[in-house]
Amino acid sequence: MKLFLTFFLCSLTQLATARTLLVGPAESIRSLQKAFALAADGDTIRLRQGIYKEGTLQLTKSITLLGENYPVLEGEKKFEILHISGKNITIRGIHFRNSGYSAMNDFASIKLVDGSHITLDQNIVSNAYFAIHVSNCTYVHIRNNRITGIPASEQMTGNGIHLWKSSHATIENNVIKGHRDGIYFEFVTSSFIRNNHSENNIRYGLHFMFSNDDSYMQNRFINNGAGVAVMYSKRVRMEKNHFEENWGASAYGILLKDITDSHILQNVFMKNTVGIFMEGSSRMEITRNRFLNNGWAMKIQASCDDNLFHYNNFTGNSFDVGTNGTMVLNRFENNYWDKYDGYDMNKDGIGDVPYHPVSMYSVIVEQNPTTLILFRSFMVSLLDRAEKAIPSLTPEHLIDNKPMMKMLRL
């Protein structure tokens, strides 16, 4: 109790003595660097509209920096613009422009190192190598920012929002375009990615590596080079996202590699080369998703096991499911398949005969991609119907035993 009272009194004292410093061409303080030197913990700095060329700025104090009408911090394509290390810091309403390039040092417009309780809100970042780079931080909030890069090659372009070895981060309501990966997580735990728009990035709209106990929900990933990748992670919740227009030879709605104990629910996969590609993934629940007009709704490698696919809608996909083996270690049930032509004699809404989602033609295409030239030919239709009657090439036990007769309301 005594410790709490001491902390409370110190906080009141800090609030009572907090100042607001004005920075601008017409003010007594004309440079942000000088304002940082004069400011004390708890102070607020208001940056007037204008263009400020101050090289690399260092911020270690617990202050709030507010921009008026989006003043520009200009990196001149040479400098890392703002380097933050500390706690209880807020940056709002600043335009960070033209930060420098450095493959050795990962230059960023905003770099956070060894920080906690830092908020980046309503900023603009343009023409950056890395836009926002975070390492070894906790309780970081990155929200309502607009991030636009100039896509070059993967080697010459950094990530939009990059987090490494951090925890309890919240990434929400950001728009990210034109970077290598829109959002990148590596060794990041207990964090949330919500309601972001990641589009036209060179590689992935979102890229997970070795990041456990995270959630990403209500995001839109559109027209990214290879879609979204979630790799080598556990207990990831993927909910109510849109994966759209990710086309290409190696493009996916989601690429899942070595993922376990995770959930994919209420997402929309629309117009992707492959909606979900799974390799080495186990103990996952894939439920209440919509797969619309994809090349393959799903490709499930034989290395996947103990996954449950149920209550999903599959409509307008060229192929429902593809696989590279005959062993079946996953379970499908109660999905709606628009290609199902079975019957329901007892009128319970569930088909009386199982559905085989892997067609013979998809198996042939998996082994010989050039056979796609025969797509929708009469011969292919004939072979697929023969395979349904007497399975020989397709995995005999990869079936939905309880296919739904009507589209599910999800």
* Distances 1 to 114, 193, 215, 241 between C-alpha atoms, Å: 30, 36, 36, 45
The sign of the torsion formed by the CA atoms of 292, 231, 214, 149 equals negative
| H or E segment and range at residue 81 | none
128-167 confidence digits (pLDDT tens):
999 999 999 999 999 999 999 987 776 778 999 999 999 9
Q: Using 50, 70 and 90 to split pLDDT, how confident is the model at 388?
A: low
Residues 6+ apart with CB under 8 A from 314: 291, 297, 320, 335, 336, 337, 338, 339, 357
Question: 280: alpha, beta or left, given left = phi > 0 and alpha = psi -120 to 50?
Answer: left
Q: Among 3-12, 235-244, 382-391, which stretch is predicted with the lowest mean pLDDT? A: 3-12
Question: What span, in angstroms and rounded, lies between the C-alpha atoms of 294 and 276?
Answer: 10
pLDDT of 314: 98
Using DSSP's 3-state secondary structure scheme, residue 400 falls into strand
327-337 confidence digits (pLDDT tens):
778 999 999 99
Segments making up each domain of the chain, as ranges? 76-389
294-306 confidence digits (pLDDT tens):
999 999 999 999 9
| Res. 120: pLDDT tops 70 | yes
270-326 confidence digits (pLDDT tens):
999 999 999 999 999 999 999 999 999 999 999 999 999 999 999 999 999 988 877
Q: What is the pTM of this model?
A: 0.89
Q: Using 50, 70 and 90 to split pLDDT, how confident is the model at 8?
A: very low
Give the angle subtended at the CA of 207 by the CAs of 203 and 212, to the nearest 5°.
170
pLDDT of 103: 75
Please say whether the beta carbons of 71 and 57 come within 8 A.
no
Question: What span, in angstroms and rounded, lies between the C-alpha atoms of 154 and 351?
Answer: 48
How many CB atoms neighbour CB 205 within 10 A? 34
Partners of 99 in beta bridges:
none
When the candidates are 2.160.20, 2.60.40, 2.30.130, 2.30.30, the CATH number that belongs to 76-389 is 2.160.20
Give the angle subtended at the CA of 139 by the CAs of 190 and 188, to the nearest 5°.
40
Tell me what the mean pLDDT of segment 262-275 comes to.
Answer: 97
The amino acid at 373: I
Largest Cα span, the chain = 86
Question: 261: alpha, beta or left, given left = phi > 0 and alpha = psi -120 to 50?
Answer: left
**What percent of the chain is predicted at pLDDT more than 90?**
77
pLDDT of 363: 61
